Amino acid sequence: MVSWSVAFKKAAAYVGFLIVWVIVGSVIIGAGFLVGGLGVKTGPFNIPVPTMANPLVAVVFIVVGYIVIFLGMMATLFKIMAEITAEEVERRLKTSAG
């Protein structure tokens, strides 16, 4: 069985990677707002209303950013789980052979 210290170290690594993926995805989403461009229209009573100059581009960037975050989180989970499993199997094989 995996020790608690190893489990918490791997959990901390997972959270660290999640933060990285959220930052990367957020940068892509933010780029979508910049590339989509913000315009200003005059609404009722001459109040300026912000609008997207090219909303389709912004939506594409937002979707891609979300996909990067989601797939990065899943890939990190699978990678860490595979590492824990491989280390545990290797440890058990060494102790049973020795």
Burial of 97 (0-12, 13-18, 19+ CB in 10 A): exposed
pLDDT digits (tens, 9 = 90+) for 54-64: 889 999 999 99
Q: What is the mean pLDDT of residues 42-69?
A: 86
Q: How far is CA 60 from CA 25, 30, 63, 76, in A?
A: 13, 12, 5, 24
DSSP string, 11-56: HHHHHHHHHHHHHHHHHHHHHHHHHH-EEEEE-GGG-EEEEESSHH
The average pLDDT across 12-23 equals 97
Q: Is 0.85 topped by the overall pTM? A: no
Q: Which domain holds residue 92?
A: 4-97
